[in-house]
Amino acid sequence: MNGRGSVREGQLNFTRLNEGERLPALFAIDVRIDRRWSFSGLQLVTYIDIQNINGRKNVSGIRWDFVAREAVQNSSIGVLPSIGVNVEF
């Protein structure tokens, strides 16, 4: 057995689940500005939203690279702006 359980038995060993390293702390600042217009029976909402305005490349996960035979960190994309329009009735 390799610490993960026996594949033949179909069981996993969860006693070592939290013994590994943790991801680094995540830090992001999100900003949203919206404007509402009221019409008879409905509302129009326009917005601009910026996620991770500080631009920090947070680590979102770790994957194994089979070619390089090492663990590689996956990073977030950084600043993510979006605009939109909602109609509420």
- pLDDT by residue (tens digit) across 12-28? 667 777 777 788 899 99
Residue type, 66: F
Q: What is the mean pLDDT of residues 84-89?
A: 94
More confident: 62 or 82: 82
Q: What is the mean pLDDT of residues 23-36?
A: 94
Determine phi and psi for 68, rounding to 5 degrees. Answer: -80, -15
* pLDDT higher than 90, residue 79: yes
Q: Which of 23-27, 30-34, 46-50 has the lowest mean pLDDT?
A: 23-27
CA distance 87 to 89: 7
List the structure tokens of 84.
Answer: 């939109």
Q: 5 — alpha (psi -120 to 50), left (phi > 0) or beta?
A: left
CA distance 19 to 4: 12
- Beta-bridged to residue 38, according to DSSP, are 43
